[in-house]
Every structure is written in structure tokens, then in C-alpha cells.
């Protein structure tokens, strides 16, 4: 390992260094510009985070430019800050990169940035400026984490071949909370994990591989992540002890995270007072329960002073919660918030709440309604350090869902959106499915909560309602596979999530281009092929799996592979209600579950109307005959046939495209992607055949193109 982490020998890398592999840059005018500026660096602070930034800078410059960075002495800094044209020996003062916190004593930072510049920089932001007067590119920040983000930003500019001779900007993250939720279990398994086992735990013990934990923190920080919950929201008995018996080990991980600007969170069991002992109830209004949690919070902050807080899944899928005691979610969340409040901690309360034991044969029963029905009536009742974590859609991370109607409905409650980087229903990191376009679509959705200018992104960043706490969370897709994500191209989702959480205005195309350049280098042919693979992949995956928003046609439990009647509760009927006449879920007010009414204004009217409902969500909102004609002019059944045939063909095309890069991409990276795309092409045909055969036999309607359907 090198000093900033990662594997030195690229031939042994296998994707471990991901977007921090710092590929060598091509010769040319930009490379010459970088060499001119980057040979010397001035850093005067000994803070661990600033020193981590220095180590990162030295490693990145050495790898990309092949030069060794010289750390400039303070005397030389004073000369440069005074704009001395020559040193006392007559040599040129030269160019230098300077970074540090405002007012830290670095004369270059103090000279380049005025008070007006400093006022533009938030707690985690940074300013960056090329100063011809001082022969300096300065990165200044209010806090050490901002310095680190600024150095990653400058390295990203260089790695993507951007000019640096005229930089002048203040950069702040849009979202204050940019969080990863791990679903790692203490036994080493990872719920919905598709990249190996946990790198935190194995056999009910902490592994203690702090080098890998540090390297993970580097990757997350470089993408803009500032919070990580390290254990599964489905907390098991032994994991309850993370807040007591195993606190020293948890604190060791927190120490590594802290250097990279990341606060550690823990998922907790609402029934902790009963499971860990001493209290015979978990009633949130019981004084003994409240005292128990207050004592636990004090113990945690004693050893982890910057502890972020608790993530809670309660009263859903057999998890304990306040319902047992006749209390509601506000009662439960506020009790925990009260315990954390003196220390600045927050409670993140998940809104994934539904009754998994209800009778799904009743067509008025609708899981999609559950989150809104539970939490809309509680709006305004939560303490100020409670955040509701709302899944992007009303169901469960399907390849296509409408946006959750809770966004726009809660006007007095802190809230964050929850995405799933782990591809539970989108190929499980065996299929490539670049999810940033999906997330962009969700964030841009107009909720109409304050008229047209009310997109989801303005709700989750806190600006629409003036929330104190806001942001974005996502389920991790990492494990102990050497490349972190199983499928190398799935790294683009992890990187892309962080970048989008930092700045939702970035395009999916721009994020993909960054990741490709930072991972594979600057070859334009390589960039073009990989970009097309990524940007086409969501549409391709959807086309051979889930027609028109119906979803769920996967094997139950493990959720991989086609099973048309495979919804978790299929013992009570299929999710999509297909019969020999038609398909789809009636969620209208007029004849169905009434779910469409949870939306605001014209959104509710559009989804309610069979004529106006968008094709891609038709079967989510309506039950229609197979002969129903879509806006595209095709019938529903013909659309199913066509998309599944075309999707399988396009999946094969992904493999063919990748194979054009043989000998243009490092062999250790090329081979692993080729293997995954080969498997995807074969599996897409299986999807095609099972789905088309099912609906051909259901409907009895021939394919207009006379293709073979068994």
C-alpha cells in the first residue's frame, strides 16, 4: 500500500483504487500546464485531515504527471506571498499550489482570499483561485474537510483534463447530509449485497482491517460523502451491542472516517432497552426507556464525540417499534431525538413502513399507499433533530416507479430521499445498470407543492420549506470484493451517487465522463464506448425486465432472475394482476386503491387518467386490456414482445461494444467487465423468453413480427 492508501502496482489493482487510480495523463499543452503549476505545494497545518489532503495531492500528482511534489518551506512561502520575483540567490520563485483553512497562518491563503471570498464558503465548501500575482493556485476552506474536498476537486479537474490556469470559484455542497447506509450484518453477510461480504465484520467480530476502512473513507470522501451508517437497518441481537459492548471497535472506525470528513452513524434496534437488558419495555413514553436511551447516547458521545446519530427502521417487516404500545412514529422518533439532542445528534427514521401480513388478494390493499398514509398525518409533530428518510418511490427501488407522493406532502418535517445504489432489482451488479439517470429523473420531478417550481431536489436540499436538516441517503453497493462493487461498471453508481448528492445540477453524462476519465484514463475511444454503455444501460435493463412500470417480476426472496408470478406475497396472487384479459394495478380513485389521489394537482389528474398517464407508468396506475393502445401507437402486448426482444439484442450489443476495447483498456479491468457483460447477454435472453412466453400464453395474442415465442 502507498501512503494515501490503495495498491501501488496497477497490474495488481483489479479496480481497487477505483476513481482514485490517477491514470497517467497524455503529453500535450495541458499536461505541461499541470507540470508547471503542480511541482511545489505549500501546507502549514498539521491537522490530520489537511495532512490527508497533502498525501492525496502528492500521490495524485506523482501518478498522473510523473513528478515528485516538493513541500515548500515557510520562508519560501513568505517570498511568494510578497510577490518577490526572485529568491535571494536570484532564482525564480516559481509556481506553487497552496491549500489550507482561512486564517490558518499560510501566507498564500491569507493573501489570495479576501473577506468577501471567505463569506461565500460554507462549512464544507472551499474556494479555489489561480493567482497570477502570487504564482499560486490556492484552495482555501472554512474547515479541514473543505480543504480535503477542494484538493479532490483540483485533482479531478486535472484527471479530466480541465484547464487550471484561470480558476476562480467558491464551491459548496448543495445537500448538507450526503449519506451511505450499509446493510452489513455482524456475521459478515450483507443484506442485498452483491460485491462479496462485509469488510467491517466477519463471524460476529470486527475484522479490524483499518487500512481497507481508510481506503474506503478516501473513496467516499472524494465523491463527497460525509456520513456513513455501518450496520444493517434490520438490526440483529448482537448488533444491538454496537452501542455498548463493541463501542471501542466502532470508535476505531469512526476515527478513520473522521480524517476524511465523515461522521459515523449506527442503525439501532427500537427494542434495545429490552434486548440489552434492564428495562422490560420499549414503550417510547416510559420514563425508564427514555432514561435508558439518554444514558446510551451519553456513553456513545463519550468515545465518539462527533457521532452522527441513529438510523431506525421500526414497525415494518417484523421490526419492533412504537405501534406495540399504541404509540405512533412521532412518539418513537422524538424519544430517541431527545436522547441525542444535547450532543447535536440526529435521528433518521425510515418511512419504509407497511404491513407485510395483510391480504394482498384484496385489490383495495395497496403497499404503495403505506408511507403516505402513515406519515402525512404526523407532519409537524417531529422534533427538529428528526429526519424522515423516504424512498425515492412508493414501493421498493424498482427499475421504474413514480416518485413518492410524500415529497411535497410534508411541509413541516425534515426529510431526506433514499436511493439504492445496490442493484437489488436492477441486475444485482451482475448486469450493468447506470442509475444516475433514474435518480436525476426523480430529483427533477415537479411535486407542485408550491406550484411548478417545486422539484424534489429543492425539497431534499431543504430550500423549499426551510428545513434545518436535509439531504440524500443511499444503500451501499460495496463489499470485500477487490474492486469494491463486484461489477467494475457498478462503481459508476457509487461515484455518481456521491457527486449527485454534492451537486444535483450535474448531468448523468458529465458524471459518467468524470468517472470514466478518472478510472480508465483519457483515451477518447474508450470514453465514448463506456459512456454509451452506461447511458443506455438503464433503458436496456428495463426493456427486457419490467414493462410499463409493472415491476416485481423477479424470484422472491433473493430477487434475481425472471419469475413472472414471483412477487414476495404471490401466495395471495400476483402483483401485476395479469389474467387472460389484461394486466396492471388499478390505483385510480374511481375504481382502484385511490393511490393516485396522494399526488398534488395535475400530477394526480394525470395519473388518474388512462388517456394522460405516461406509458412508462401505465401498468403501475391502471389495469388495461392487452389490446390497449399506448401513446407510442403500439398495443400493450406488442410493446411487451418488442421491448423484450430488442432489450435482449441490445444487451448482446453491450458486450460487442465492450469487446472493441480489448487492448485499449488495462487487461485486469477489461476481463472482469467482459465476463459480467457475457453473463448479462445470456441472462437477458432468459428474461425475454420467460416474460414473452408467459404473456403469449396468458393473452393468446400473436406477435405481429412473427418471432418465435415458445
Same domain, 123 and 252: no
239 and 137 together in one domain:
no
Reading across the β-sheet that carries 168-171, which strands appear in turn?
70-71, 40-42, 96-101, 136-141, 126-131, 168-171
Quick check: is 278 in a domain?
A: yes
pLDDT in tens, 606-622: 999 999 999 999 999 99
324 and 258 in one domain?
A: yes
> What distance in Å separates the CA atoms of residue 284 and residue 1, rounded to the nearest whole number?
48
pLDDT at 381: 98
Are 671 and 630 within 8 A, CB to CB? no
Number of domains in the chain: 2
Of 77-86, 533-542, 631-640, 643-652, minimum mean pLDDT range = 77-86
Whether the Cβ atoms of residue 148 and residue 101 lie closer than 8 Å to each other: no
Residue span of the structural domain in which 132 resides: 29-77+93-171
Average pLDDT over residues 653-660: 98
pLDDT at 362: 59
Domain boundary among the residues 171, 198, 229 is at: 171
Residue 517: inside a domain, yes or no? no
- Residue 219 in any domain: the answer is yes
CA atoms within 13 Å, Cβ hemisphere of 694:
21
Q: Say yes or no to pLDDT of 1 above 80.
A: no
Exposure string over 538-552, b if 16+ CB within 10 A, otherwise e: bebbbbbbbbbbbbb
The rounded distance, in Å, linking the Cα atoms of 596 and 604 is 5
- Measured in Å, how far apart are the chain's first and last C-alpha atoms? 55
Position 687 pLDDT exceeds 50: yes
pLDDT tens digit string along 511-562? 999 999 999 999 999 999 999 999 999 999 999 999 999 988 999 889 999 9
Report the pLDDT value the prediction gives residue 316, as an integer from 0 to 100: 85
Separation CA 6–CA 1 (nearest Å): 5
Distance of CA 51 to the CA centre of its chain: 27
**Domain end call among 117, 143, 171:** 171
pLDDT tens, 328-353?
999 999 999 999 999 999 999 999 98
Q: What is the pLDDT of residue 690?
A: 96
Mean pLDDT of the chain: 93
Pairing of strands 70-71, 40-42: parallel
pTM of the model: 0.96
What is the pLDDT confidence band of residue 317, given thresholds at 50, 70 and 90? confident
Q: Which residues contact 296 (CB under 8 A, 6 or more apart)?
A: 243, 244, 272, 339
Q: Are 545 and 553 in contact (CB under 8 A)?
A: yes
Q: Are both 311 and 230 inside the same structural domain?
A: yes
Domain of 118: which CATH number? 3.30.379.10
Report residue 86's pLDDT band, with 50, 70 and 90 as the boundaries: very low
CATH code, 379 = 3.20.20.80
Residue 33 lies in a domain: yes
Query: Does residue 424 carry a catalytic annotation?
Result: yes
Report pLDDT for 73.
65
Burial class (CB in 10 A: 0-12, 13-18, 19+), 701: middle
Q: Is the pLDDT of residue 88 over 60?
A: no
Domain end, chosen from 503, 530, 553, is at: 503
pLDDT at 636 over 90: yes
The span from the CA of 554 to the CA of 395, in Å, is: 15
Q: What is the pLDDT of residues 168-209, one digit of tens each?
A: 999 999 999 999 999 999 999 999 999 999 999 999 999 999
- Whether 570 has a pLDDT exceeding 60, the answer reads no
Neighbours of 133 (CB within 10 A): 9
Catalytic residue selected from 396, 401, 461, 642: 396
Distance CA 433, CA 536 (A): 8
The strand pairing partners of 30, in sequence order, are none
Positive or negative, the Cα torsion across 681, 684, 686, 689?
negative
Only one residue has cell 426507556, namely 289
For 135-150, the pLDDT digits (tens) are 999 999 999 999 999 9
Residue reference for cell 444493517? 232
pLDDT at 210 over 80: yes
Which entry of 315, 424, 608, 642 is annotated as an active-site residue? 424
pLDDT-derived band at 118, boundaries 50, 70, 90:
very high
Compute the Cα dihedral for 202, 205, 206, 208 and give only its sign: negative
Claim to verify: residue 205 and residue 354 sit in the same structural domain: yes
CB-count exposure of residue 523 (10 Å: 0-12, 13-18, 19+): middle
User: Does residue 217 sit in the same domain as residue 150?
Assistant: no
Catalytic site residue from 74, 86, 169, 317: 317
Residues 280 and 363 in one domain: yes
CA distances from 151 to 97, 221, 258, 473, 539 (A): 10, 11, 17, 24, 35
The angle formed by the CA atoms of residues 202, 206 and 209, to the nearest 5 degrees, is: 95
How does DSSP classify residue 184?
B
In a domain, 264, yes or no: yes
- 532 Ramachandran zone, left/alpha/beta (phi>0; psi -120 to 50): alpha
Q: What is the pLDDT confidence band of residue 650, given thresholds at 50, 70 and 90?
A: very high
d(CA 26, CA 34): 11
357: cell is: 401480513
Mean pLDDT of 210-234: 98
Is residue 81 over pLDDT 50? no
Label residue 363 by pLDDT band (50, 70, 90). low
Q: Judge if 335 and 355 occupy the same domain.
A: yes
Residues 56 and 117 in one domain: yes
pLDDT greater than 80 at residue 77: no
705 inside domain: no
pLDDT above 70 as % of the chain: 93
Report pLDDT digits (tens) over 27-54: 999 999 999 999 999 999 999 999 999 9
Confidence of residue 459 (pLDDT cuts 50, 70, 90): very high
Task: Look at strands 415-420 and 386-391 and give their pairing.
Answer: parallel
193, 336: one domain: yes
Burial of 399 (0-12, 13-18, 19+ CB in 10 A): buried
- 282 and 208 both lie in a single domain: yes
The answer to whether residue 190 sits within a structural domain is yes
Determine how many CB atoms are found less than 10 A away from the CB of residue 568. Answer: 16
Can you give the pLDDT at residue 74? 58
Q: Describe the crossing of helices 144-159 and 48-65 by its angle, rounded to 10 degrees.
A: 10
Is a pLDDT exceeding 60 seen at residue 311? yes
Give, as one character, the DSSP assignment of residue 640: H
Residue 693 within a domain: no
For cell 505549500, the residue is 42
346-350 and 386-391 strand pairing: parallel
Least confident of 73-77, 126-130, 371-375, 449-453: 73-77
DSSP assignment of 371-432:
HHHHHGGGTT-S-TTEEEEEESSSSSS-SS-PPPTTTTT-SSS-EEEEEE-S-TTTTTTTS-
Predicted pLDDT of residue 380: 97
With cut-offs at 50, 70 and 90, classify the pLDDT of residue 76: low
What does R_g of the chain's alpha carbons equal in angstroms? 27
Do 191 and 158 belong together in one domain? no
Residue 367 main-chain phi, psi, to 5 deg: -60, -30
Amino acid at each position: 500500500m502507498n501512503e494515501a492508501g490503495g495498491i501501488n502496482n496497477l497490474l495488481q489493482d483489479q479496480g481497487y483504487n477505483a476513481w482514485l487510480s490517477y491514470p497517467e495523463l497524455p503529453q500535450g499543452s495541458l499536461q505541461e500546464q499541470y507540470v508547471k503549476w503542480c511541482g511545489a505545494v505549500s501546507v502549514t497545518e498539521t491537522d490530520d485531515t489537511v495532512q490527508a489532503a497533502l498525501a492525496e495531492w502528492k500521490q495524485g500528482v506523482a501518478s498522473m504527471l510523473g513528478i515528485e511534489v516538493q513541500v515548500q518551506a515557510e520562508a519560501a512561502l513568505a517570498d511568494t506571498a510578497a510577490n518577490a520575483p526572485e529568491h535571494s540567490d536570484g532564482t525564480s520563485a516559481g509556481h506553487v499550489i497552496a491549500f489550507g483553512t482561512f486564517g490558518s497562518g499560510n501566507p498564500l491563503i491569507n493573501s489570495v482570499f479576501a473577506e468577501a471570498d471567505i463569506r461565500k464558503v460554507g462549512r464544507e465548501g472551499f474556494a479555489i483561485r489561480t493567482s497570477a500575482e502570487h504564482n499560486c493556485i490556492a484552495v482555501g476552506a472554512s474547515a479541514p474537510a473543505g480543504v480535503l474536498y477542494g484538493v479532490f476537486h483540483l485533482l479531478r479537474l486535472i484527471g479530466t483534463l480541465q484547464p487550471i490556469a484561470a480558476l476562480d470559484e467558491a464551491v459548496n455542497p448543495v445537500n448538507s447530509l450526503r449519506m451511505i447506509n450499509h446493510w452489513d450484518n455482524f456475521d459478515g453477510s450483507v443484506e442485498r449485497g452483491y460485491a462479496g461480504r462485509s469488510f467491517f465484520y466477519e463471524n460476529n467480530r470486527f475484522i479490524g482491517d483499518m487500512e481497507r476502512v481508510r481506503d474506503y473513507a478516501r473513496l467516499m470522501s472524494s465523491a463527497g460523502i460525509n456520513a456513513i451508517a455501518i450496520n444493517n437497518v434490520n438490526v440483529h441481537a448482537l448488533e444491538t451491542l454496537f452501542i455498548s459492548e463493541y463501542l471501542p471497535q466502532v470508535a476505531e472506525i469512526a476515527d478513520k472516517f473522521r480524517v476524511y470528513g465523515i461522521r459515523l452513524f449506527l442503525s439501532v434496534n427500537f427494542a434495545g432497552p429490552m434486548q440489552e437488558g434492564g428495562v422490560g419495555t420499549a414503550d417510547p413514553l416510559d420514563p425508564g426507556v427514555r432514561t435508558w436511551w439518554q444514558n446510551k447516547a451519553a456513553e456513545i458521545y463519550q468515545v465518539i464525540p462527533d457521532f452522527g446519530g441513529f438510523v431506525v427502521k421500526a414497525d415494518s417487516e417484523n421490526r419492533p417499534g412504537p405501534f406495540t404500545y399504541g404509540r405512533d412514529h412521532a412518539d418513537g422518533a422524538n424519544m430517541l431525538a431527545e436522547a441525542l439532542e444535547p450532543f447535536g445528534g440526529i435521528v433518521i427514521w425510515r418511512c419504509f413502513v407497511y404491513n407485510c401480513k395483510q391480504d394482498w388478494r384484496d385489490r383495495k390493499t395497496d403497499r404503495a399507499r403505506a408511507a403516505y398514509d402513515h406519515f402525512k398525518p404526523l407532519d409537524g409533530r417531529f422534533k427538529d433533530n428528526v429526519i424522515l428518510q423516504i424512498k425515492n418511490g412508493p414501493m421498493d427501488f424498482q427499475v421504474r416507479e413514480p416518485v413518492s407522493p410524500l415529497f411535497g406532502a410534508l411541509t413541516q418535517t425534515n426529510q431526506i430521499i433514499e436511493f439504492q445504489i445496490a442493484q437489488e432489482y436492477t441486475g444485482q451488479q451482475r448486469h450493468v445498470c447506470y442509475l444516475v439517470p433514474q435518480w436525476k429523473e426523480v430529483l427533477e420531478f415537479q411535486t407542485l407543492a408550491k406550484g411548478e417550481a417545486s422539484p424534489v431536489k429543492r425539497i431534499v436540499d431543504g430550500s423549499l420549506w426551510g428545513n434545518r436538516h436535509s439531504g440524500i441517503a443511499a444503500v451501499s453497493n460495496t463489499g470485500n470484493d477487490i474492486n469494491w462493487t463486484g461489477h467494475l461498471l457498478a462503481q459508476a453508481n457509487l461515484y455518481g451517487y456521491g457527486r449527485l448528492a454534492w451537486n444535483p445540477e450535474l448531468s448523468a453524462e458529465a458524471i459518467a465522463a468524470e468517472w470514466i476519465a478518472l478510472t480508465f484514463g483519457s483515451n477518447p475511444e474508450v470514453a465514448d464506448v463506456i459512456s454509451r454503455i452506461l447511458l443506455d444501460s438503464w433503458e436496456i435493463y428495463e426493456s427486457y425486465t419490467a414493462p410499463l412500470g409493472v415491476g416485481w417480476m423477479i424470484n422472491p426472496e433473493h430477487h434475481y432472475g425472471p419469475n413472472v408470478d414471483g412477487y414476495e406475497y404471490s401466495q395471495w396472487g400476483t402483483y401485476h394482476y395479469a389474467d387472460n384479459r389484461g394486466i396492471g394495478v388499478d390505483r385510480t380513485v374511481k375504481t382502484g386503491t385511490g393511490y393516485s389521489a396522494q399526488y398534488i394537482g395535475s400530477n394526480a389528474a394525470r395519473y388518474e387518467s388512462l388517456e394522460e398517464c405516461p406509458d412508462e407508468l401505465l401498468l403501475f396506475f391502471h389495469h388495461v386490456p392487452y389490446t390497449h393502445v399506448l401513446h407510442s401507437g403500439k398495443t400493450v402486448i406488442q410493446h411487451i414482445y418488442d421491448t423484450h426482444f430488442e432489450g435482449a439484442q441490445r444487451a448482446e450489443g453491450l458486450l460487442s461494444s465492450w469487446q472493441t476495447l480489448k487492448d485499449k483498456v488495462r487487461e485486469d479491468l477489461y476481463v472482469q467487465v467482459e465476463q459480467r457483460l457475457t453473463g448479462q447477454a445470456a441472462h437477458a435472453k432468459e428474461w425475454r423468453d420467460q416474460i414473452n412466453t408467459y404473456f403469449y400464453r396468458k393473452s393468446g395474442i400473436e406477435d405481429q413480427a412473427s418471432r418465435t415465442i415458445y
